């Protein structure tokens, strides 16, 4: 069978012409990616504003009385859930996954374009449902992003009227959207790679996004199961999770259910979720480092294996979030062990990033700054994770600000730095314009140093035992005055970081109109997305013929070559020995 047909098979692209079919009901993966991206970043801004409100309350409890205790719970919950699911998951997979997969593997589009379009609109629906909960009676749920029963659905918790239901429904709708998208990403990688694009020639970005999608497809059902069962408990009075309980002085009709069962289901999703966010970041950062250091990625095979290994292991560490839940203590031993084991491939990745930089020809452009910043924050958050993975250390630190500091470093700041780096990196391809370099550098330094000054001090608060999810700390005996002052400092840093993001938005919008026109491959990168005939790529991505791939994705600074990169689609020359490194 003629081979080229494989990637092109069944892909009859209709080129739409009206504005609506081109930019709104579009089936083009690039347009869908941008729709996903803009929506995710917009809800992300909502979550950022919520965190600023919380910080104002924590830092200056007497000066500002913007929010009430109830609202604090609601804001914590919405902030956490939006950041993790509706921003990061949607942006990495729906945004970058959609944009990069077909371009990087040399396909014309996703294999199911219609499903892909549907995926975005269903995602938008889930966002709308979530946002609607701000406007219903009782407001959004204040159960914490972990939504633990029994309190999540009992009256007395803010949002027990409608908020919790809207949250559960929105999550279910999100999962439907994710599944539609995820089927697309996985099938596209499996079936639509162009000729010569073997698995081991795929850029690490694709590996990361691909593996994360597989994790998501297998793990999100756990969230769906818990959402369905909790909805039944709340609406129809079943007792899957609800024990016999007295609520507001009255015996409820619940009985016999198990809150720990919920925690198992939730974290069976929750831990892989960390890697759903982290693996795409790992992949993308590898490509940024390699491209801007003009050096092949150190240990490509080990990087791939580490991604795959982390993917598998991430399903057997979930109960390290449950050391204090009252589960069988022997489980703690098992899960602490698996948690330490998963740190090994993760550490290998870090070594390889650093070794990629070693004696590289480092260009400190904006994407590179963000990538290097990521290495710092990720190592930092990763190390505190090893502390928390051990039962004896976790018990006193659990539910303190040490945990808040840990997860913000590892899955808040680190992926966000990669998001920024990646947006700057691919901005010329997406828009056809260059961004403003100086403004980008300011954005990096202020964000990087700013977030550090938010989260570094939080570790000390954690050591003091300052509990998380608290509205106010005045008059608590063991919390010294100095901790409250530290809180004010953290708040100032947080507000500063929030305001600085304006630089990013201004840069993006200004450059869209006034930026210098970008060439097709401004960074001198090897991967296929930079080799498209047009910039930005048009519908269908490639000209009449799909590119053919002749080499791996990291032929940078090959000895004996005149230029310091060889794109993947450049055939071998007469003397193939010359390329070998």
Partner 1 sequence: MSTIVFFIFIMVGLSYWWLWRQKVLEQPWVTEGTDIDLRDDIAQISPTAKTGLIIFLAVVTSLFSLFISAYFMRMSLNDWLSVDEPLFLWLNTALLVLASISIQWCAGAARNSNIRTVRYTLLATGVFTGAFIWGQLLAWQDLNAAGHYLQSNPANAFFYLLTGLHGLHLLGGLWVWSRTTLRVMAGVNTDQVKLSVQLCRTYWHYLLAVWIVLFGILLST
Residue 479 interacting entry, from ligand HEM, Cu ion, partner 1, none, C-beta within 5 to 8 Å by type: none
Residue 256 · residue 244 · CB < 8 Å:
yes
> What are 22-25's contacts with CB under 8 Å, separation 24+?
25/117
Sign of the C-alpha dihedral computed for residues 264, 265, 269 and 270 taken in this order: negative
Q: CA of 39: how far to CAs of 32, 36, 43, 82, in Å?
A: 11, 5, 6, 12
**b/e string for 291-327 if b means 16 or more Cβ within 10 A?**
bbbbbbbbbbebbbebbbbbbebbbbbbbbbbbebee
CA end-to-end distance (rounded Å), the chain? 34
Nearest residue to the partner Cu ion, using Cβ:
271
- Contacted entry of ligand HEM, Cu ion, partner 1, none for residue 1, CB cut-off 5 to 8 Å set by kind: partner 1
CB of 166 vs ligand HEM, minimal distance in Å: 17
Q: How far apart are CA 101 and CA 103, in angstroms?
A: 6
User: Between residues 271 and 459, which has the closer beta carbon with respect to Cu ion?
Assistant: 271
Among Cu ion, partner 1, ligand HEM, none, what does residue 144 contact (CB within 5–8 Å per kind)?
Answer: ligand HEM
**Helix axis angle, 69-81 relative to 29-59, nearest 10°?**
150
Q: Which of 77, 188, 286, 541 binds ligand HEM (CB under 6 A)?
A: 77
Q: Among Cu ion, ligand HEM, partner 1, none, what binds residue 271 when CB lies within 5 to 8 Å by partner kind?
A: Cu ion
Side-chain-facing half-sphere of 377: CA atoms under 13 Å: 34
Whichever of 138 and 203 has its CB closer to ligand HEM, that residue is 138
Using CB under 6 A as the binding rule, whether residue 83 contacts ligand HEM is answered as: yes
Residues in contact with ligand HEM, counted by CB under 6 A, come to a total of: 23
Residue 242 gets which letter from DSSP? P
Smallest Cα–Cα separation from 97: which of 189, 8, 173, 192? 189
Whether the Cβ atoms of residue 315 and residue 219 lie closer than 8 Å to each other: yes
Residues 88-117 touching ligand HEM, rule: CB under 6 A, are 88
Paired strand residues for 491 = none
Binding-site member from 55, 108, 264, 271 for Cu ion (CB under 5 A): 271
Q: How far is the CA of 180 from the CAs of 151, 184, 187, in angstroms? A: 32, 7, 11
- Asked whether 319 and 332 are in contact (CB, 8 A), the reply is yes
145 binding partner (options partner 1, ligand HEM, Cu ion, none; Cβ < 5 to 8 Å by kind): ligand HEM
Q: How far is the CB of 126 from partner 1 (least distance, A)?
A: 17
Taking the complex as a whole, how short is the minimal distance between the CB of residue 266 and ligand HEM, in angstroms?
A: 12
Q: Which stretch binds Cu ion (CB under 5 A): 6-14, 173-181, 223-231, 265-273?
A: 265-273
Kindly report each contact of residues 78-81 with a partner whose C-beta sits within 8 Å and lies 24 or more positions away, as own/partner: 78/46, 78/47, 78/50, 78/130, 78/133, 78/134, 78/140, 79/47, 79/50, 79/51, 79/54, 79/145, 80/144, 80/145, 81/130, 81/145, 81/167
**74 in Cβ contact with 142 (< 8 Å):** yes
- 3-class secondary-structure state, position 556: strand
79 binds, among Cu ion, ligand HEM, partner 1, none (CB under 5 to 8 A by kind): ligand HEM
Minimum Å distance from CB 3 to partner 1? 6
360-376 b/e (C-beta count within 10 Å ≥ 16 → b)? bebeebbbbbbbbbbbe
Q: According to the binding rule CB under 6 A, does residue 349 interact with ligand HEM?
A: no
Smallest distance from Cu ion to CB 384, Å = 13
CA 32/CA 519 separation, integer angstroms: 23
Options 26, 35, 51, 511; binder of ligand HEM; rule CB under 6 A: 51
Which does residue 54 bind out of ligand HEM, partner 1, Cu ion, none, counting CB within 5 to 8 angstroms by kind?
Answer: ligand HEM
Nearest residue to 85 via CA among 10, 178, 16, 152: 178
Least Å distance, CB 55 to partner 1, is 37
171 binds ligand HEM (CB under 6 A): no
CB 238 within 8 A of CB 252: no
Which of 145, 207, 268, 530 touches ligand HEM (CB under 6 A)?
A: 145
**Interface residues for ligand HEM in 493-512 (CB under 6 A)?**
494, 497
Rg, Å, the chain Cα set: 24
264 contributes a contact to Cu ion by CB under 5 A: no
HSE (side-chain half, CA atoms, 13 Å) at 462: 23
User: Using CB distances below 5 to 8 A depending on partner kind, what does residue 295 bind out of ligand HEM, Cu ion, partner 1, none?
Assistant: none
- Report, in Å, the least distance between residue 559 CB and ligand HEM: 42
- Interaction of residue 76 with ligand HEM, rule CB under 6 A: yes
Q: Which stretch binds Cu ion (CB under 5 A): 21-29, 267-275, 426-434, 545-553?
A: 267-275
Per-residue mark of binding to ligand HEM, 410-429 (x: CB under 6 A): -xx---x-------------
| Closest distance to Cu ion from the beta carbon of 324 (Å) | 14
Nearer to partner 1, 220 or 426 (CB): 220
- DSSP letter assigned to residue 155: B
13-42 binders of ligand HEM (CB under 6 A):
none
Instruction: Give which of partner 1, Cu ion, ligand HEM, none residue 411 binds (C-beta under 5 to 8 Å, depending on kind).
Output: ligand HEM
Nearer to partner 1, 125 or 261 (CB): 261
Query: Which residues bind to Cu ion, rule: CB under 5 A?
Result: 271
Q: Which residues bind ligand HEM (CB under 6 A)?
A: 48, 51, 54-55, 76-77, 79-80, 83-84, 88, 144-145, 404, 408, 411-412, 416, 454, 468-469, 494, 497
């Amino acid at each position: 069978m003629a081979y080229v047909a494989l990637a092109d098979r069944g892909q009859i692209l209709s080129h739409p012409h009206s504005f609506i079919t081109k930019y709104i009901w579009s089936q083009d993966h690039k347009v869908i990616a941008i729709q996903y991206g803009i929506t995710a970043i917009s809800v992300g801004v909502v979550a950022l504003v919520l965190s600023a409100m919380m910080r104002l309350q924590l830092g200056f409890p007497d000066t500002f009385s913007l929010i009430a205790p109830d609202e604090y719970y609601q804001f914590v919950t919405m902030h956490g859930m939006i950041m993790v699911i509706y921003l990061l998951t949607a942006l990495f997979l729906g945004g970058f996954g959609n944009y990069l997969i077909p371009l990087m593997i040399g396909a014309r589009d996703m294999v199911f374009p219609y499903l892909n379009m549907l995926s975005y609109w269903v995602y938008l629906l889930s966002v709308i449902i979530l946002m609607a909960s701000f406007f219903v009676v009782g407001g959004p749920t204040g159960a914490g992003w972990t939504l633990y029963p029994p309190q999540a659905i009992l009256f007395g918790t803010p949002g027990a009227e409608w908020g919790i239901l809207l949250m559960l429904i929105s999550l279910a709708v999100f999962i439907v959207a994710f599944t539609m998208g995820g089927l697309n990403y996985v099938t596209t990688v499996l079936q639509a790679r162009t000729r010569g694009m073997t698995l081991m020639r795929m850029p690490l970005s694709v590996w990361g996004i691909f593996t994360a999608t597989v994790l998501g497809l297998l793990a999100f059902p756990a969230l769906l199961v818990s959402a369905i069962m909790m909805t039944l408990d709340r609406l129809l009075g079943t007792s899957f999770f609800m024990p016999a309980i007295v609520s507001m002085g009255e015996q409820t009709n619940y009985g016999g259910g198990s809150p720990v069962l919920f925690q198992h289901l939730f974290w069976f999703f929750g831990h892989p979720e960390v890697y759903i966010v982290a693996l795409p970041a790992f992949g993308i950062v590898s490509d940024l480092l390699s491209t801007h250091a003009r050096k092949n990625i150190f240990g490509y095979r080990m990087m791939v294996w580490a991604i795959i290994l982390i993917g598998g292991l991430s399903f057997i560490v979930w109960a390290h979030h449950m050391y204090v839940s009252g589960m069988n203590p022997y489980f703690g031993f098992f899960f602490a062990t698996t948690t330490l084991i998963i740190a090994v491939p993760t550490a290998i990745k870090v070594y390889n990033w650093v070794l990629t930089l070693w004696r590289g020809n480092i260009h400190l452009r904006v994407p590179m700054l963000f990538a290097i910043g990521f290495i710092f924050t990720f190592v930092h958050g990763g190390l505190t994770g090893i502390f928390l993975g051990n039962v004896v250390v976790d018990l006193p630190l659990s539910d303190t600000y040490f945990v808040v500091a840990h997860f913000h470093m590892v899955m808040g700041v680190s992926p966000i730095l990669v998001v920024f780096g990646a947006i700057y990196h691919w901005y010329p391809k997406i828009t056809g314009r260059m961004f403003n370099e100086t403004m980008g550098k300011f954005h990096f330094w202020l964000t990087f140093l700013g977030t550090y000054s938010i989260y570094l001090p939080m570790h000390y608060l954690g050591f003091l035992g300052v509990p998380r999810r608290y509205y106010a700390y005045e008059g608590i005996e063991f919390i010294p005055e100095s901790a409250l002052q530290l809180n004010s400092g953290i708040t100032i840093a947080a507000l500063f970081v929030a305001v600085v993001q304006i630089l990013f938005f201004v840069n993006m919008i200004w450059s869209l109109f006034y930026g210098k026109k970008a060439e097709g491959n401004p960074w001198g990168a090897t991967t296929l997305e930079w080799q498209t005939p047009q910039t930005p790529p048009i519908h269908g991505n490639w000209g009449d013929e799909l590119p053919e791939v002749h080499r791996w994705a990291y032929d940078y600074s090959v000895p004996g070559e005149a230029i310091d990169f060889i794109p993947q689609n450049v055939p071998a020359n007469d003397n193939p020995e010359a390329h070998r490194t």
